[in-house]
Structure 1
Amino acid sequence: MHARRLAAVGFTALLAACASAPTRFHTLDPVASASPPAGRLSAVPVRLDSVTVPPELDRPQIVRRAGPGRLDMADDDRWAGALDELARGALAADLAQRLPPGATVRQDDPAPPRSLHKLDVVIERFEGTMAGPVTLVARWTLLGEGAEQALARHEEHIEVPASGDIDGTVTAMSAALGILADRIAAQVR
C-alpha cells in the first residue's frame, strides 16, 4: 500500500511538472508620433482599406526568425486576433495621430460625401529575430477615387532594435508600424 501511495504522489508531481506555461496573448498598439500632426487638412480624406501579411505570419502564434530559412513559433505567446487586423488597427490609429483631424476615415465609418483616397498596405516581412531586431518590409499604395489610379506607391524597409524576448519583439513591431505611419503621413499630407 505504501508503494502505491508513493507512486501516486510521484505521478501527480510529474504531471504538475509537465504542465505547460499559461498562454499569453499580445496585441499591437498605436505609438505616439514624435512630431505633432500636420496643421492643414488634406483636401481628400484617407481610409486604410487593407493590410495584408504573408501566409507564414498569418497564424495565432507569434513568429520570429530563428535563422536563415527558419522561423520559430512561440507556442505560449499568441496574437489576440488575426495579425493583419491587429496591424491594420494599430496603423490606422497611428495615421489618425499623425494627420490632422478629419484627414482619416476609419474602415467601419461611412464614406464621406466627398471623394475618398484608399490606402492598401502589403506587408512582405514583419518579424523579429531571436537576437532582437524587428524588420518590417511593406509596400503601400494610395489609390484615388474609384481605385483606378495610383496616386502614390512606396516600398518601405524599417528595422527597429528590440530585446530578444517576445515582449520586446511585440513592442518593436508596434514601433515599426508607427515609423511606417510617419512615412505614409509625410507623403499623403
Structure 2
Amino acid sequence: MVEESEMRNQRSLIHLVVLLVLSVVCLSACAGKSASSTFYVLSSLPQPTLNAAEGTTIGVFPVAMPEYLDRPQIVTRVSENEIRLDEFSRWAEPLKESFTRALVQNLSSLLNTAKIIKTTGGTGIPVALQVGAEVVQFDGILGGDVILIVKWGLFEAEDKKLISAKRSYFKEPTGAATYEAFVAAQSRAVAALSREIAEAIKARR
C-alpha cells in the first residue's frame, strides 16, 4: 500500500513538472510572437518622364497639419468627437512630409513639368508661383469614408499677390476595413486636391 501511494505521488509530481515546462514553453512562444507595427506612406499619381527645362517654376510650401494628426500613429475616427490611435499602424515619416511630397509629385504629373519644388519661401531656387495649404481634417472611419478638408491658396511669388484661394472638401470611400485601404483612400483624396490646385495653376498660365 505504501509503495503504491509513493508511486502515485511520483506520477503526480512528474505530471506537475511536465505541465510547468509546457507552460513556460507556451509563454515564451507567445512573447516571441508579439505584434509588430506596420508602416505606411501616402502614394502619388504615376510619374512620367518630365522635362525640367520647360515651364514655370512653382514652389509648394510644407503643408500645415493640425496637432491631432501630427503623430506617428494613423488617426481614425470613431465618432464626431472621438478618435482612435493605432499603435501598430503608423506613418513611416511625419504625415506633413508625406502629404507635401505627394502633393509636389502629383502637381508635377498633372502639369507635366519637373519644375514643381518644395520651398520654404527663403533664398534658393527662384519661383514664379507659390502654393500654400493648411489641413483642417484628414481622417475617417475604417471601412467607411476618408474626409479631407483643406484650405489652400495660390500666390504670386514676387509680390505675394493672392491669385486663388479655397476651402476644399473631399470624401473618398475606403472600400475595406483595413489600414492599407484607409491610407489608399487618403492618397486618392490628396490626388483630388492636387487636381483642383493644378486647374487653378493652368488658369493662371
Matched, 1:24 2:42: no
Contact 1:118-1:147 within 8 A present in 2 as well: no
Look up the equivalent residue of 1:101 and give its one-letter code: T
Distance 1:15 1:54, change over 3 A: farther
1:121 aligned residue: 133
Partners of 2:188 and 2:159 in 1: how far apart?
29
Superposition deviation, residue 130 in structure 1:
2.7
**1:111 — aligned with what?**
125
Structure 1 unaligned blocks of 5 or more:
none
Distance 1:83 1:132 in 2: 21
Give the number of equivalent residue pairs.
180
Q: Please state whether the residue corresponding to 1:56 is helix, strand or coil.
A: helix
The ranges of structure 1 where at least 4 consecutive aligned residues each deviate by more than 4 angstroms after the TM superposition are none
CA contact (8 A) 1:50 1:119 kept: no
Other structure's SS at 1:169 match: helix
Identity %: 23
CA displacement at 1:17 relative to structure 2: 3.1
Matched, 1:100 2:109: no
Structure 1 residue 76, shift from structure 2 partner:
0.9
- Per residue, is there more strand in 1 or in 2? 1
Identify the residue that residue 197 of structure 2 maps to in structure 1. 184
Q: Please list, as runs of the form range in 1=range in 2, the aligned pairs for 1:162-173 lying within 5 A after superposition.
A: 162=174, 163-173=176-186
Q: Does 1:56 align with 2:101?
A: no
Structure with bigger helix share is 2
* Pair 106,55 (structure 1): closer, same or farther in 2 beyond 3 Å: closer
Q: Distance in 1 between matches of 2:95 and 2:19?
A: 48
Question: How does the TM-score come out when normalised to structure 1?
Answer: 0.84
**Retained in 2: the 8 A contact 1:122–1:140?**
yes
What SS does structure 2 have at the residue aligned with 1:181?
A: helix
Distance change in 2, residues 1:76/1:117 (3 Å): same
Residue 149 in structure 1 maps to residue 141 in structure 2: no
Contact 2:138 2:149 in 1 (8 A): yes
Match of 1:73 among 85, 97, 104: 85
Which amino acid in 2 is paired with 1:171?
Answer: A
- Relative distance call for 1:20 and 1:128 in structure 2 (3 A) is farther
Q: 1:31: Cα distance to partner?
A: 2.4
Amino acid at match of 1:131: G
Gaps of 5+ in 2: 1-12
1:63-120 C-alpha deviation (Å, 9 max, x unpaired): 10011211111111110000000000111101110113255234499413xx521111
**Does the 8 Å CA contact 1:132/1:165 hold for their aligned counterparts?**
no
Identify the residue that residue 139 of structure 1 maps to in structure 2: 151
What is the TM-score of this pair, normalised by structure 2? 0.78
CA distance in 2, matches of 1:4, 1:53: 58
Superposition RMSD on alpha carbons, in Å?
A: 2.5
With 145-154 and 76-85 compared, the bigger mean Cα shift is at 145-154
Give distance in 1, aligned partners of 2:185 and 2:93: 18
CA contact under 8 A between 1:116 and 1:145: conserved in structure 2? Answer: yes
Instruction: From the superposition, tell whether residues 147 and 73 of structure 1 become closer, same or farther in structure 2 (CA, over 3 Å).
Output: farther
Which position in structure 1 is the counterpart of 2:172? 160
